[in-house]
Chain A
Amino acid sequence: MNNTITLIIDGEEIQAPQDATVQQVLESINKAAPIICAHEATTSEGICRQCVVEVEGWRVLAPACVTKVSTGMVIFTNSERVNRSRRTILEMLNASVDLSEAPELQAQMDEFGADRERFPHAKTREQDVKDDNPFFVRDYEKCLLCWRCVQACGDDIQYTYSISVGGRGFDSKISTFFDSPMPETTCVFCGNCVAVCPTNALKSKTEHFMELGLDYDEIRQEKRAEKKKMGKA
């Protein structure tokens, strides 16, 4: 078979299709690397670097989600270097981003023994919840910029292009054009961004209110009352 290649993963010889990514091969042998920014519905861009593996002879760690396999590659998925990298990424993210509603990341922190208090004086992304539409709220202190929502809004699901990354460096954030409220953008409120958010930074409003202790009918009355007030004002 011409289109199959052989590589070594953790000392084991593996046959893999030529055009596969490392992550696809790892999934096929039940050793999938942990992920943050990857999602089955969006295109992997290698942003978070959580899925890195060590490739013998390579200077840097390779993100499994976008690195293609090649003949003779020697890959380590569980080396000290790999685990330290993953642990540090989690510790740094946890220092500035509110990961409390990301159960998968909490589990990864436990798995890699991340110290949740390693950077106690880090600047946080603390900010108000953005509540500007009837369907979902945006709590960007929980946002780790995985980019999935932008992809879902754009070329991976909805082709609507109403959000993108604005700002630079630490101030980078997911934003609309001129930071306008959602109803003033091209947004169609499909909520496909909410569906792919890994940290609950985007959350359906019903869920948000229920977490605040309001019951279903209160949410409705609340909204109706507010609407009336706004209409009269």
Chain B
Amino acid sequence: MALSPYFACKMGGRPSEARGRGAERLNRKKVVVRRKFTMIKSQKSVRSTCPYCGVGCQIDLQIKDEKIFRVDAPFGVAPNFGRLCTKGRFGTDYVHHPSRLKNPLIRKDIGTKPRKAIGMDGFREATWDEALDLAAEKIAEIVQKNGGDAMGTFCSAKATNEDNYIFQKFVRGVIGTNNVDHCARLCHAASVAGLQIAIGSSAMSNSIAEMKDLDVFIVVGSNTSETHPVISTFLREAVVKNGAKLIVVDPREIEMTQFATSWLRQKPGTDVVVFQAMAQVIIEEKLYDEAFIRERVEGFDNYAASIQESTPEWAEEISGTPADEIRAAARLYAKAEKAAIYWGMGISQSVHGTDNALSLANLALLSGNLGKEGTGLNPLRGQNNVQGCSDSGGLPAVFPGYQSVTDPEIKAKFELDWGVPLNPEAGLTTMEMVDAAEKGAITGYYVMGENPMMSEPDLRHARHVMEELDFVLVQDIFMNETGEYADIILPASSFAEKDGTFTNSDRRVQLIREAVPAPGNARDDWKIISDLAQRVEKKLGREKSAGFVFDSPSAIWDEMARLTPEFQGITHARIVKEDGVHWPCPTPDHPGTPFLFADTFPSGKGKLTPLNYRPSQELPDDEYPLLLSTGRVLYHWHGGTMTRRSKLDDIYPDPTVEVHPKDARPLNIHAGDWIKVRSRRGEIRVKVLITKRSRPGMVFIPMHFAEAAANELTLDARDPQAKIPDYKVAAVILEKA
């Protein structure tokens, strides 16, 4: 019996013995001639883009026997210049996981209501023809009976721009509704809403390549070193090598605080207060950029009057951040030559997320830190293609390139190109679709590459809605919590198995390439959608097709670019040549735009918006004494569909709750204990991690674990403008399990 390599090592043996060259090794003290190397030779190296976060790291997949055995990164290529994090370097083995979906699946008890969540046993395998025909029939039935607006659809921030373009074309052009949204609603919707008001554009204004040369920068609501690890290395480089000053604003003692000049530790949910006070200091001490404000900003007098009362002392009272530190940070930021702001979910996932984003925009507009290299308002995007999914029209109110669906001229342009009439009403957002489904206005779901049954707040409610739907179509690479409610599941190919483009956080359009074959009968998303769309058109008896015949993703991109002025200069061939292009890029000879707003804002002048502080909706009380914040950890990623199926799960296998020792002691709970965390909405069982990262009175739970989903606890309270739920503040109690 051959020893397992692990076993051989444990017994004091050497892995080389398992390799059968032990004899040679025993003699090596005398003969130093070394054998020829037994290294695995890479059969091909395929340049692609990392499938995890929004940094968009360029990677070289090394393939042997149709398996990815190593991931390298090219050193000379933006945006990551050879740097990777643990997810990109070691976490792509989910691609080859045995539980990948290989055949279309149809629910055995299709048609029975209420539908129950079922595992793989509840499904039977089917051919593509059978599954697609059935899906087309069901969709056509809903459209004919209740109209297109009775379908709710979710496109995917994991899929390519091309997949998402085809998806929204199918939804708008064939189903006839604008009910298409994706998880950006649950992440940066508030940043988008806030920035749209302030400057009329929502993308990250400056590029990752500029990070090394910052003077001063603020990181707020972003645990950068765990959620965007590669970006964090550039930010740390700015501090360590180039002497930049970092201001961290975060209630938790995240790793970035170790590199910070100033750490403003506000109470969760009081960000607006801190930034209002900083703005007050800037105006009070006349540190603002007068020329910039005169030329490019409006509403200054009104705004200045509105924040007279917002002194640092007032902010200290509410947020717990010392007034002196707020003053010092404001001076540091306003006086800097180049100062940038980076933020993450801590800003946007809040009932006042739009206000949070606006308060940051106000700071940047006051100090003139916008429209120059090394400055800007930079929301760090969470998913590999969340920027691209929004760009490609995966939103209810806009066509690709943020062209409004309600603008008759733009609608006419798309109608002419697609040759079909379009719905003039804006569609529903993710959360509104759930509400509509509850009322019965939506009876069918089409979910591509998303897992709303993990990512939505107040899951118990979301599940209840799912049970009553007439038809649920899911398209994914794995079975997940949403797939368990599906009638039909269509197996898709992963990032390593198809061609296409992802757009990263700094608007850089980059390629992914087919490196390995898809497992079983899984197909590319764009092929599945095109096929389904044509079948639905046939069932609906449409005379004219909206056009779903493409020979490659490159052709799909060309159609999208034709209709979207900002993409017109970009083609797949150009990206191959230049590794990546930053949109806006209106013509083939345009170099692309690494930083935005050099001369003007899309809305003309930037707007300063007066704000009012509103406390969070649910705060700790006697019954639920602790404040819960949710977030992410380095080794996992969002709903865990991918990382829980890779070796990343080996190092972080269990759901945890971070508890401060002061809170743990009276409850007599210890590190490693399994305890229950309960809120007004639900309870989960998690493992205790004792740490001082959060203040006493606050616990932190990562969102990645299906068996203990943090969103069983969170409440469905939404920002009034962005409709984004608040994942960062809820009240809970800890109980011994």
Chain A positions within 8 Å of B, measured between CB atoms, are 40-41, 94-95, 98-103, 106, 116-117, 119-122, 124, 126, 128-129, 131, 133-136, 155, 157-159, 183, 188-192, 194-195, 200, 204-214, 216-217, 220, 222-223, 226-227
Contact = CB atoms under 8 A, between A and B. Distances in A.
A128 B25 CA distance: 12
Nearest to B92: A206
Contacts of A122: 32
Given A119-B32, A134-B648, A223-B650, 16 more contacts: A40-B76, A121-B29, A122-B32, A126-B28, A135-B651, A136-B90, A159-B233, A159-B240, A188-B634, A190-B84, A190-B86, A191-B84, A195-B82, A204-B90, A210-B64, A211-B39
Interface in B23-59: 28-40
25 contacts: A98-B34, A100-B35, A117-B31, A124-B29, A128-B14, A129-B14, A131-B9, A135-B90, A136-B90, A155-B240, A159-B236, A183-B651, A190-B83, A190-B229, A191-B86, A192-B89, A194-B89, A195-B72, A195-B84, A195-B89, A204-B90, A206-B647, A210-B40, A212-B5, A212-B15
A133 B652 CA distance: 11
Closest 10 A/B residue pairs (Cβ): A191-B89, A134-B650, A189-B86, A159-B236, A100-B34, A135-B90, A100-B37, A134-B647, A101-B37, A216-B67
B653 A190 contact: no
A98 to B, nearest CB: 6
Given A155-B240, A189-B651, A94 B76 contact: no
B37 A106 contact: yes
Contact of B83 (A100, A157, A206, A211): A157
A121 B35 CA distance: 17
B98 A217 contact: yes
Contact of B5 (A106, A155, A157, A209): A209
Nearest to A126: B28
Contacts of A135: 86, 89-90, 647, 651
A157 B34 CA distance: 33
Interface of B: 4-6, 9, 12, 14-15, 18-19, 28-40, 64, 67, 69-73, 75-76, 81-86, 89-90, 93, 96-98, 225, 229, 233, 236-237, 240-241, 259, 634-635, 647-648, 650-651, 653
Contacts of B650: 134, 223, 227
Contacts of A195: 72-73, 82, 84, 89
B84 A192 contact: yes
- The interface centre, meaning the residue of B35, B93, B650 with most chain A CB atoms within 10 A of its CB, is B650
B651 A207 contact: no
Contacts of A40: 75-76, 82
A208 B240 CA distance: 35
B98 A188 contact: no
A210 B90 contact: no
Nearest to B14: A128
A35 B700 CA distance: 48
B98 A220 contact: yes
A100 B32 contact: no
A157 B233 contact: yes
B36 A100 contact: yes
Contacts of B67: 210, 216
B647 A223 contact: yes
Query: DSSP majority for the A interface?
Result: loop
Contact of B75 (A41, A136, A220): A41
B687 to A, nearest CB: 13
A211 B34 contact: no
B103 to A, nearest CB: 19
Contact of B18 (A98, A133, A212): A212
Contacts of B96: 216-217
A212 B86 CA distance: 23
Contact of A211 (B6, B33, B36, B38): B38
A207 B70 contact: yes
| Interface-central residue, A102, A119, A208, A220, by most chain B CB under 10 Å | A220
A177 to B, nearest CB: 16
Contacts of A124: 28-29, 32
Contacts of B647: 134-135, 205-206, 223
A214 B648 CA distance: 19
A192 B35 contact: no
A102 to B, nearest CB: 8
B233 A128 contact: no
A69 to B, nearest CB: 24
A174 B70 CA distance: 23
B117 to A, nearest CB: 24
Contacts of A220: 93, 97-98
B80 to A, nearest CB: 10
Contacts of B653: 227
Given A155-B241, A211-B19, A116 B6 contact: no
B200 to A, nearest CB: 36
B6 A226 contact: yes
Contacts of B259: 159
B40 A211 contact: yes
A129 B259 CA distance: 34
Contacts of A200: 39
Contacts of B240: 155, 159
Given A131-B9, A227-B653, A94 B229 contact: no
B706 to A, nearest CB: 17
Contact of B70 (A128, A131, A204, A216): A204
B33 A190 contact: no
Contacts of B30: 120-121
B4 to A, nearest CB: 6
A147 to B, nearest CB: 17
A40 B75 CA distance: 8
